[in-house]
């Protein structure tokens, strides 16, 4: 390791580290999706337990979004955007399908600007009920 670099971090110069505080975003939940059903939902009030939409002059960036079910069957997942001034109308931001688990990585989902919110839609094309667990991480800036 080069001189002047710490031995505990991944190439972080000693004495030159700056602390950057970014408000983290985390949403998670569980729900049941009946056979052949499509569920459209959002987290708590919309963004969290306080805000329905991304506050003015802020943006929400999603790093990862993971959706998994209790059986190894096909599921379809969409991440949608809903605008505050146009409730009930959704723009598709990302769409994927997979067996038992669908994961969106950083870069697959664009940011959500002020006065919008992420909405999630999961379709179960199977003939069995599924228990869905979902988890989303990101930051608000």
CATH code of the domain covering residue 72: 2.60.120.510
Distance of CA 43 to the CA centre of its chain: 10
Assigned domain for 121 exists? yes
Count of the separate structural domains present in the chain: 1
* Per-residue pLDDT tens digits for 9-42: 444 444 555 545 455 888 999 999 999 999 999 8
Assigned domain for 38 exists? yes
Assigned domain for 62 exists? yes
> CB count, 10 Å around CB of 69?
25
- Sign (positive or negative) of CA dihedral 61, 88, 57, 29: negative
State the virtual CA torsion across 115, 23, 118, 27 in degrees, nearest 10.
-140
Q: Determine the structural domain holding residue 87 and report its residue range.
A: 24-140
Assigned domain for 28 exists? yes
Identify which of 73, 75, 78 has the alpha carbon closest to the alpha carbon of residue 40. Answer: 78
Interval 84-109 mean pLDDT: 93
């Amino acid at each position: 390791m080069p001189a002047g670099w710490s031995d505990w971090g991944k190439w972080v110069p000693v004495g030159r580290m700056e602390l950057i505080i970014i408000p983290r975003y985390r949403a998670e939940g569980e729900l049941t999706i009946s056979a052949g059903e499509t569920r459209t939902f959002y987290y708590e009030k919309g963004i969290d337990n306080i805000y329905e939409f991304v506050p003015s002059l802020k943006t929400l960036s999603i790093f990862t979004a993971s959706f998994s079910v209790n059986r190894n069957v096909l599921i379809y997942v969409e991440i949608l955007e809903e605008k505050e001034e146009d409730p009930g109308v959704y723009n598709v931001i990302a769409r994927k399908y997979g067996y038992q688990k669908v994961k969106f990585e950083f870069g697959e989902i664009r940011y959500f600007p002020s006065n919008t919110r992420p909405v999630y839609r999961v379709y179960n094309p199977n003939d069995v009920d599924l228990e869905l667990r979902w988890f989303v991480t990101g930051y608000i800036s």
